[in-house]
Structure 1
């Protein structure tokens, strides 16, 4: 083990006695001393998302290959880049020493320590082998604290990670052109939340153990799922059971108990009559103008499980308010009695602007569309329109509701109009993008998201289908396109065995023949061709709006892409070639850093009123199935 591994730390402990008497000691970074000011209380401030945390192939100190993202998601992460032989006291030794202080402090706070992971990644893989990093880490790790020391296979593997974090590293050469073994770089430590988003970047002037711990506490409070009441700034609205890292044996549920889902009714008609910044005037059918009475009735119907055949299934069970009015927990929907549905639950945000409904665009009005799932055998399972109408007529708690809204009782027409009226109020915009682009607020959008917007409208050409106007943006061209997703899903050969997860971290490889007896055969999906019978429409699906898209994973009509990063990577490769592939789909040539910037832009499309709409949903009545 090289003595230079500890040169930075030894220098600190010895007061820099190794320096020549004529060379003044460099001024120490603030991270070595006590803070000269009192910190603000945790959660009294916010840490906005700066951008998505980059990924890449790494090696653990046990020489095990992993992805960097494998070490994120279940805990808050502090990521530092160092090289073990660095002797700049305000460089790598500073980062390691501050992290060492953090690990020592958290030994006295085990509950907090259990929620934080430190990652130290070398940018000198030729010297810092897994064994070297193991020895290096042994000098700093305190107790059983979760601190991983990582490296990469080679510089080629490392470079995409450095690019993703905009970590500029340059080798230093002597006057003979020989590598000196030292690097020029800017010290940066990244605070990453459990959604794999960067929430702060610390440099030499701001890196301090007390500040970092305060920020970690702020993030954990911001993500706390147990709070009973909606509080400004808290992320109460998320998947009922966030299955991130479900593949790991130490997975723990973060489900939000139903008794905590308390909400507050909102004046929904205002989101229709005065749409938030970035949305155009809402189109309303002449035969079904919006009224508060219709909206309130539609809201009651939307959350009523009695609208299904066996009184167990409401519209909201597939279009879950806190999951983007979609479903984050399943790639494709499941109807009554666990019946398989072949497509993903689309988000209902801004659905009142959609000219095409369902993934294949088979319907063109919400009043008509609502009857599709009500009558589908594998969704709500009702045998007929009359069955639904009669059930509502027989429900005492609906007495007078339809008369108030329509001056007549429940009919096929009024049920559809009421449900459509509620959905037309689910309008969400005034996002950071809207405030920056339409509101001209220069600081509303992060630098990464601004770069992403430039790519979105330029090199990546996303706006060719997800259009943006001069004064408003729906982020859809209201058309259908073949991207190759449907083609790949239909044409790929089924493997002989499928890997089935039976519990967190527990997988079983099952022969497909064994599954045939217990699972329904996967239905083929040809897109709009099933409606038009025109061969050119095979695997064509409508262009969805991208507003609030970060809330509605997984993506595509079949839920096959789990994250926005996977979506961008899919389009970056040019989709999947087939004879009907849209001419707009072609390889983009985006770098890893550009992909992250594009994702940052997409994450900046969440509307400012999301919590209001979800809180209103939590306050909605749920029909008594008894």
Structure 2
């Protein structure tokens, strides 16, 4: 674009639009917002994907990596071409960013933390010199706004692909390039860890919402931790994080176990004074909480030596950074890869549960603890005495039971110790709690507030997931048939199944060819298997919804991968069967209402979750070489 064309373009931004532009509906970014945006910090911006890198050239003709230019600031990345004349295209992005630049000059505490990067996707015309002239018309003061180009189209294409920017040249009827491009406008908000946190299209690009999003990310920023300790944002993902594994350009970002160190917390405080939104914790009179019991239970919970072959702990199914559940498997897998037919339930606030296991067959944590320890497909210990004897001869447990219980390890004290640790895993003080119980009007987003109205009204969720004026457990402590178990029992296996063999590579395999590769999953009739009452077929307990966003996949069999799928299932009224709960019926929720309901559920994540996870990371996992039965005991009964 020549100098005259550039001046004309800049002139159009500060003078009335041309006649052609006046007849075209303008994007919201040109005018004041017609609504009140959500206040910064009252909502969250999840990670969408990793920000792509690539070779670019600065306006000073210096080659750089895009990631290096992002540095340690939040970044707003836009793609433009200088000759663009579409008022809702590149001019919109440039004007909105110009407004942001002007606003942030008055807020230096924000301006120092944000960088604007504008990259041309027309390197043939937009040379470094051209981008320098172009940028001079928009930069305000010394605000950090850099205008970039690339060496050539070959250098640009990987970047466009990484950001899924589909750009095509426009040709005339003679096949000549017109100098214009067909593209979809997108602006990317990128955090300091090179994660894309929001993507703005024409309809959503506005200076006010962008600045609020920037403030929200800055408010969410976690303080620096000591060298060697895990960063807080890494606490909410698997160590082997397979985000975007379905894409062909997947790259592993696994976090080694040695890096996952945390800080011990005073867990008893979360039990003695539960976080906002939780009632007083019920504690059995015969097992009062003490620090010594909680610390011992924590050690047992993470100790792999409590399994038959010293490889499997409670924490392998109830993974702290995955909601004390397991985000990576629909149903659990026990020792030696043995299949477990049900999903790993979350342990947050489990001390309040009156029914334990998905079918509710146990009613105390002290008793429940022995189920997994003895189950053949979980920890596989052959007897209670086998576990007790292991602990009696372990040097690193010497004196710990005596300190906590005034006697050594027994069936009773092992169950009591594990129960004590689990009763301290109380997570609340969520955005919802601060809004509903704490009366902080700005603590909950408008979408989540609408979702709560649906939750207690049209969607009738609170009929089972109950709450009151002073606290909320979000469970009625009962069992219900929603139809999930019925549908699984009655469904036929598909003729073909899609199997992923590598990142981004799927193949269709005949189901018959997969038989024998896995053990046949046994049927599941829910509480009927305990009660033998036909009315209890496919009945499972109502789980608490606190911290539910952390514990996907959902339902007793892990068959629903997301909260959106859960809402969709209940919106259709569950799965019809003769024992279906009478509380379930089609809800008639619109797409927006369903999204609002998900926003509410996401707002139930406790404010102290990261503390509980960090504490878990500080626990020892058990050295398999330091605990073994005496030969005389180990050889008996073999």
Change (3 A) 1:384 1:336: same
Change (3 A) 1:624 1:106: farther
1:49 maps to which of 43, 53, 57: 43
Change (3 A) 1:342 1:226: farther
- Counterpart contact for 1:51–1:600, Cα < 8 Å: no
CA distance in 1, matches of 2:212, 2:439: 33
2:163 maps to which of 104, 117, 121: 117
1:505 pairs with 2:504: yes
Deviations 1:40-67 (A, max 9, x none): xxxxx986635789xxxxxxxxxxxxxx
RMSD of aligned alpha carbons: 4.4
> Which residue does 2:483 correspond to in 1?
484
CA distance in 1, matches of 2:437, 2:405: 38
Matched residue of 2:342: which SS?
coil
Matched residue of 1:510: which SS?
strand
Deviations 1:312-336 (A, max 9, x none): 0000000000111001111111101
Matched residue of 2:501: which SS?
strand
1:12 pairs with 2:34: no
Deviations 1:537-592 (A, max 9, x none): 11111000010011111111111111111111111111111111111111111111
- Counterpart contact for 2:51–2:195, Cα < 8 Å: no
> Which residue does 1:229 correspond to in 2?
229
CA distance in 1, matches of 2:442, 2:218: 22
Matched residue of 1:499: which SS?
strand
- Counterpart contact for 1:98–1:207, Cα < 8 Å: no
- Counterpart contact for 1:225–1:256, Cα < 8 Å: no
CA distance in 1, matches of 2:178, 2:502: 33
> Which residue does 1:155 correspond to in 2?
none
> Which residue does 1:561 correspond to in 2?
560
> Which residue does 1:102 correspond to in 2?
118
CA distance in 2, matches of 1:273, 1:10: 68
Deviations 1:503-551 (A, max 9, x none): 2112232233322222111211111111111111111110000100111
CA distance in 2, matches of 1:485, 1:137: 57
- Counterpart contact for 1:49–1:198, Cα < 8 Å: no
More divergent stretch after superposition (89-98 vs 236-245): 89-98
CA distance in 2, matches of 1:448, 1:608: 19
What is the TM-score when the length of structure 1 is the normalising length?
A: 0.74
Structure 1 spans left out of the alignment, 5+ residues: 1-7, 33-44, 54-71, 81-85, 122-128, 142-147, 151-187
- Counterpart contact for 1:49–1:199, Cα < 8 Å: no
CA distance in 2, matches of 1:246, 1:290: 43
Change (3 A) 1:577 1:213: closer
Matched residue of 1:102: which SS?
strand
> Which residue does 2:283 correspond to in 1?
284
> Which residue does 1:409 correspond to in 2?
408
What is the TM-score when the length of structure 2 is the normalising length?
A: 0.72
> Which residue does 1:315 correspond to in 2?
314
Change (3 A) 1:338 1:136: farther
Deviations 1:457-503 (A, max 9, x none): 11111111100111000000001111111111111001122222122
1:540 pairs with 2:539: yes
- Counterpart contact for 2:547–2:605, Cα < 8 Å: yes
CA distance in 1, matches of 2:41, 2:562: 22
- Counterpart contact for 2:275–2:427, Cα < 8 Å: yes
Deviations 1:410-429 (A, max 9, x none): 11111000000000000010
> Which residue does 1:617 correspond to in 2?
616
CA distance in 1, matches of 2:177, 2:465: 49
Matched residue of 1:455: which SS?
helix
1:389 pairs with 2:388: yes
CA distance in 1, matches of 2:341, 2:537: 16
> Which residue does 1:59 correspond to in 2?
none
CA distance in 1, matches of 2:550, 2:161: 24
Matched residue of 2:498: which SS?
strand
CA distance in 2, matches of 1:19, 1:624: 72
- Counterpart contact for 1:119–1:149, Cα < 8 Å: yes
Change (3 A) 1:196 1:487: farther
Change (3 A) 1:361 1:195: farther
CA distance in 2, matches of 1:401, 1:136: 79
- Counterpart contact for 1:242–1:329, Cα < 8 Å: no
Deviations 1:78-131 (A, max 9, x none): 999xxxxx988478840387699733346579999689736699xxxxxxx9x9
> Which residue does 1:239 correspond to in 2?
238
Change (3 A) 1:322 1:136: farther
